Amino acid sequence: MPVVTEIHVNGVRHSLRADGEQPLLNVLRDDLGLTGTKFGCGEGQCGACTVLVDGVPIRSCHTPVGSIGPQQVTTIEGLEKDGQLHPLQQAFLDAGAMQCAYCTSGMIMSGVVLLTKNPHPTDEEIVGFMDGNICRCGVYQRIQNAIKQAAKVMAGGQP
């Protein structure tokens, strides 16, 4: 795969030289210093490395950076706007939806996509959509609550 020379992340164009076969995750973390996206399994099984590519959630641990092209990548670092947390980030804080929090970035990125596609998800829909994200600390019930809280806040037109 050819060398990748630029990538768009969180609205910023970055110049770099990276082997196109490298996982996007490595480029984000090691070349761009965006370490909010985590390595969990390297097998696409745990969701810790979830980022958005043109709004679509992908597992960055096994997505070659050469496949991204001009698409826009969004990571956890890109959710906060002008010092204001995304409603789902705030909801995670309010619901206490984390212990070690290593899964949190991936959970929030997946949850943001769910809420974009489905602004009022039922419990079953949340479970179905989020089942690819593992929280080994077992905080699932709280994460579910956080997603529901964020759905309410977002429906209310609050930032």
Partner 1 sequence: MSEPSSSSSPELYPEQYELQGLPAARPFRFRRRAFLQLFGTGLVVLCVTRRAIAQTESGGVRGSATGQSRPANLDAWLQIATDGTITFFTGKTEVGQNIRTSLTQAVAEELPAPIDSIHAVMGDTELTPYDAGTFGSRSTPDMGLQLRRVAATAREALLDLAATLWSVDRGELTVADGKVLHVASQRAIGFGKLTQGRKLVRTISPETTVKLATEWSVAGTSVPKVNGRDYVSGRHRYASDIARPGMLFGRVLRAPAYGATLDSVETSRAEAMPGVRVVRDGDFVGVVAPSSHAAAQAVAALKATWKTHAQISEDQFFHELRGGGTPPENGLVRESDGGLTLKRTYTLAYIAHVPLEPRAAVAEWKDGKLTVWTGSQRPFGIRDSELTKAFGLGPERLRVIVPDTGSGYGGKHTGLAAVEAARLAQAVDQPVKIIWTREEEFTWAYFRPAGVIDIASRVRADGTLATWDFHNYNSGSAGIEPPYAIPDPQTKFHRADSPLPQGSYRSLAAAANHFARESHIDELAGELKIDPLEFRLRNIKNPRLLAVVDSAARAFGWGRAKIAGRGRGLAVGVDKGGHVATFAEVAVEAESGRVSVTRVVQAFDCGAVVNPDHLKLQLEGAVIQGLGGALFEAVHFENGRILNPHMASYRVPRFSDAPSVEIILVDRKDLPSAGAGETGIVTIAPALGNAICDATGLRLRSLPMAPDGLRRPG
- Residue 35 within binding range of partner 1, rule CB under 8 A: yes
The span of 52-60, 91-99, 113-121, 150-158 binding partner 1 (CB under 8 A) equals 91-99
Distance CA 142, CA 137 (A): 11
Q: Are 24 and 31 in contact (CB under 8 A)?
A: no
Question: By CB under 8 A, is residue 125 in contact with partner 1?
Answer: no
How many Å apart are CA 20 and CA 6, to the nearest integer? 11
103-127: b (≥16 Cβ within 10 Å) or e: bbbbbbbbbbbbbeeeeebeeeebe
Q: Is 147 in the site for partner 1 (CB under 8 A)?
A: no
148 binds partner 1 (CB under 8 A): no
Q: Which stretch binds partner 1 (CB under 8 A): 1-9, 14-22, 66-74, 149-157?
A: 14-22
- For residue 89, what are the contacts with CB-CB under 8 A and spacing of at least 6? 79, 80, 108
Q: For residue 136, state whether it binds partner 1 (rule: CB under 8 A).
A: yes
Confirm if 51 and 133 have CB atoms less than 8 A apart: no
Residue 12 Cβ vs partner 1, minimum distance, rounded to whole Å: 15
List of residues contacting partner 1 (CB under 8 A): 19, 21-23, 26, 29-30, 33-43, 45-46, 48, 75-77, 79-80, 85, 89-90, 92-93, 96, 98-105, 108, 126-128, 130-144
